[in-house]
A and B are shown apart, each in its own frame.
Chain A
């Protein structure tokens, strides 16, 4: 698990809410810090990859899938770069 500075829990949220909430959370972070985003939306894996490809201030450091109480969680680590 990469180091992170803040966590955003978007479990249950549907696309595009995880992305919109993450964009707002990243904007509140100092440059260089890392946001951990926890989602239940399988599609968030591709969504966050797409965001990192086009956004100018975000680097996708890592993604992982974890099990919690029989539920799959999709965890994303994003660094604010500008």
Chain B
């Protein structure tokens, strides 16, 4: 089935526009792949740490240099896109809840996978319902297509690790 982007107008513009990004809280920005000019914009917006979950280590090494050059902490955690596990969520929780992290930019390629991880973090680590977690992501600007993706992939996660929640 061919989907269409129907809710671009709802996509929240943040202080780091035009990067596609979603401020789920005042301390966490879920983002697509930042461009070179974005590192300084993050600093100006008060962000302190960048967490990249994309798989490419060479690209991450280049970006780490650029991010650190403007004073950002940079963490590369190449968690698998095809098979999230509870250990990945626990590692994410440690990072996001670490006071040293401060304001966090959490990014993948398209900002979808980080949205999924944020949703699972809310549900698994913080006990939120699926409805609460989805509502937060919608409020941040994610559209229907993204929510459908989160729903499918969250169900896959719970089928494997917590069938009662599926």
Chain A residues proximal to chain B, CB less than 8 Å: 11-17, 19-20, 22-24, 40, 43, 46-47, 50-51, 53-55
**Contact residue range for chain B?**
20 to 34
Which residues of the partner chain A approach B82 to less than 8 Å between Cβ atoms?
A: 16, 19-20, 22-23, 47, 51, 55
The answer to whether A17 touches B149, judged by C-beta atoms less than 8 angstroms apart, is yes
Bound: A47/B153 CA distance, A: 16
* Complex CA distance for A50 and B54, rounded to whole angstroms: 9
Majority SS at the chain B contact face = loop
Q: Does B2 have its Cβ within 8 Å of any Cβ on chain A?
A: yes
Q: Is the interface of A mostly helix, strand, loop or mixed?
A: helix
Q: Which residues from A are CB-within-8-Å of B128?
A: none
Q: Tell me, yes or no, whether B13 is within 8 Å of chain A by CB.
A: no
Are A15 and B3 in contact (CB-based, < 8 A)?
A: no
Neighbouring A residues of B103 by C-beta, 8 Å:
none
CB distance from A43 to the nearest CB of B (A): 5
Within 8 A of A (CB), among B132-158: 145-146, 149, 152-153, 156
